[in-house]
Amino acid sequence: MNSDIGRFSTAPGDTETPIERPAEEQKPPDLVYGSTEEFLHEQLLPTYVRDVDGRAAKWCAEWYFHPEAVSRVEALWRAWEHLRLDGATGISVWWKDHADHHMSVLLDPRGPFYKCDIKTHRNPEHLEPKKAPEGWFPDVRTQGT
């Protein structure tokens, strides 16, 4: 005897449940962009348009020589790839929490490109901190073993 429940029906012997695959067998979603650079050129810069005049905003044509910039653009790419899958508010969250924040830092005239201009790269001065005295910052990976 069949019993109809909405548009689903059950018949004797239809007790098979969907097989759940172990996490290691689940394929992650395909990426839209294959690299940080592709994301920057194909998505980020074409949509995040600003007047980069050197006074209110700065950019370096050789942005990839700036470790902070590379890290921030990669963070933007990875967050975009993840949040694009949320069809409700994902892209809004990406703009608000990621793009606006990181791009404000990157484009800031006192940011990572402070010595550069749109056409000329100049190596940034890196902070050269002294090492703290021995024992001030113990390696937590080795504690308790």
Q: With bands split at pLDDT 50, 70 and 90, how would you rate the model's confidence at 4?
A: very low
CB neighbours of residue 63 within 10 Å: 20
Instruction: Pull the structure tokens for residue 51.
Output: 């007047």
State which amino acid sits at residue 17: T
Is 57 part of any domain?
A: yes
141 or 70, higher pLDDT: 70
Q: Tell whether the model's pLDDT for residue 134 goes beyond 80.
A: yes
Residues counted in the chain: 145
Q: What is the pLDDT of residues 65-120, one digit of tens each?
A: 999 999 999 999 999 999 999 999 999 999 999 999 999 999 999 999 999 977 88
Is 20 part of any domain?
A: no
Distance from C-alpha of 67 to C-alpha of 114, rounded to nearest angstrom = 14
What is residue 9's predicted lDDT score, i.e. its pLDDT?
A: 35
Is 117 part of any domain?
A: yes
Structural domains of the chain, count = 1
Q: What is the pLDDT of residues 23-68, one digit of tens each?
A: 667 888 999 999 999 999 999 999 999 888 888 999 999 999 999 9
Q: Is the separation of the CB atoms in 14 and 23 below 8 Å? A: no
User: Which sign does the torsion angle of CA 102, 56, 111, 63 carry?
Assistant: positive
Is 101 part of any domain?
A: yes
Domain that holds residue 94: 38-124
DSSP 9: E
What is residue 14's predicted lDDT score, i.e. its pLDDT?
A: 45
Is 119 part of any domain?
A: yes
In the chain, which ranges are E strands?
Answer: 3-5, 8-10
